[in-house]
Amino acid sequence: MNLVVRSSNWLGDAVISVPAIRALSRGLPAGSRLSVLTPPKLAALWSCIQGIDAVLMVDENPAITADTLKAGAFDAALVFPNSLRTALEPWLAGIPRRTGFAGHRRSWLLTDRVPRHSRAAGLRHQMEDYLDLAGHIPGGLHGRALDRRVLLAPEPCVLPRPDPGRWLAVCPGAEYGPAKRWPAGRFAAAAHAAATTRGCCIVLLGAEGDRPACAEAARALGGGVRNLAGATSLAEFLAWLGHAEAVLCNDSGAMHVAALFGRPGAAVFGSTEPRLTGPITPSVRVFREHVPCSPCFLRECPIDFRCMAAVEPGPVAAALSA
């Protein structure tokens, strides 16, 4: 089988889908090829994942993406995202088998439509959705491919160390919105205590949009930190996280990367639900105060931010210092 998997468009979602990619890598028939089609911004992540034969790039023009797929001569495509466009890409390429979740007015573009798990049946992790899709490839997956000990094992960080020293990676941003961001002062208190105990420096990390959150955390720390927010490529960001002594973050892409690489970490949850999108390995510990209005899934808190305000720095620092 020559299979291409269309990656999710966001870092956290892509990491959550890694166990499904591992299941496919282990479960495809002998002699098969497994490729991942990804937005260019996530190519560095997929290049780190073992068991993938090729990483292909999505173009803004679906017709160009279809040409890329045609050149690969794929006989099956697995579409992880839910959008119409991501199902259109393999359809335009004429790939014979196209599997994905139904809905979003795209069912006619898929040959194999998988029903999505209903929240009414109970909460389950998003990782299980991707594993469901992987199990619907032609021929299915055998039991060995679904060994959870293998699927959830930490991925070795193959990227070179960005610095010879030791550091605590601190990521106070969250692209979704301020309802997912623990206050900067609490980030600073937990980071300072943990770094002091560990005897390492503090490195602030984040994307361009995380510059304000990182700058506020740097001010709260009072200097003496390295602020790399908006100054790294994705490969560099992955390396700083993958070689960190520990990682302090919100529910964000950084949390998922730390869990992927098996780094010790602490992630503070506010408006979201860890049973749905928590870290995929136990190396990252979740801190969350379940107040009556959570999880609200809002981008901004309309009241008093009580879920985040209830999380104290002390226990978070202790977890990072262990």
Residues 182 and 226 in one domain: yes
SS3 of residue 279 by DSSP: coil
Q: Is the pLDDT of residue 283 over 80?
A: yes
- Predicted pLDDT at 137: 86
Do the domain assignments include residue 156?
no
Residues 51 and 108 in one domain: yes
Q: Give me the domain span that covers residue 175.
A: 167-321
Residues 180 and 279 in one domain: yes
**Higher pLDDT residue, 142 or 69?**
69
Residues 213 and 311 in one domain: yes
SS3 of residue 3 by DSSP: strand
Integer Cα distance of 113 and 108 in angstroms: 9
Spatial contact of 244 and 168, defined as CB atoms under 8 Å apart: yes
Q: Which of 102, 118, 151 is the last residue before a domain boundary? A: 151
CATH of the domain at 240: 3.40.50.2000
- Binned at pLDDT 50, 70 and 90, residue 103 comes out as confident
Residues 27 and 60 in one domain: yes
Residues 4-46: tens digit of each pLDDT? 999 999 999 999 999 999 999 999 988 999 999 999 999 999 9
Residues 142 and 200 in one domain: no
Residues 99 and 240 in one domain: no
| Model pTM above 0.75 | yes
Do the domain assignments include residue 162?
no
| Angle separating helix axes 211-221 and 184-198, nearest 10 degrees | 60
Q: Compute CA 34 distance to the chain's CA centroid, rounded to the nearest angstrom.
A: 20
Residues 175 and 314 in one domain: yes
| Sole residue written with tokens 């959870």 | 148
Do the domain assignments include residue 160?
no
Lowest-confidence region among 98-107, 132-141, 298-307: 132-141
- Predicted pLDDT at 122: 85
Q: Which of 100, 118, 151 is the last residue before a domain boundary? A: 151
**Higher pLDDT residue, 144 or 114?**
114
Do the domain assignments include residue 240?
yes
Residues 184 and 142 in one domain: no
Do the domain assignments include residue 159?
no
Residues 89 and 221 in one domain: no
Residues 144 and 187 in one domain: no
For the chain, the C-alpha Rg in angstroms (whole number) is: 20
Average pLDDT over residues 82-105: 95
- Predicted pLDDT at 271: 93
How many domains does the chain divide into? 2
Percent of the chain with pLDDT over 90: 86
- Predicted pLDDT at 220: 95
Residues 182 and 309 in one domain: yes
Q: Is the pLDDT of residue 165 over 90?
A: yes
Do the domain assignments include residue 310?
yes
Phi/psi at 118 (5° precision): -90, 135
Strand pairing partners for 249?
171, 267
- Binned at pLDDT 50, 70 and 90, residue 144 comes out as low
Average pLDDT over residues 222-229: 92
- Average pLDDT score over the chain: 94
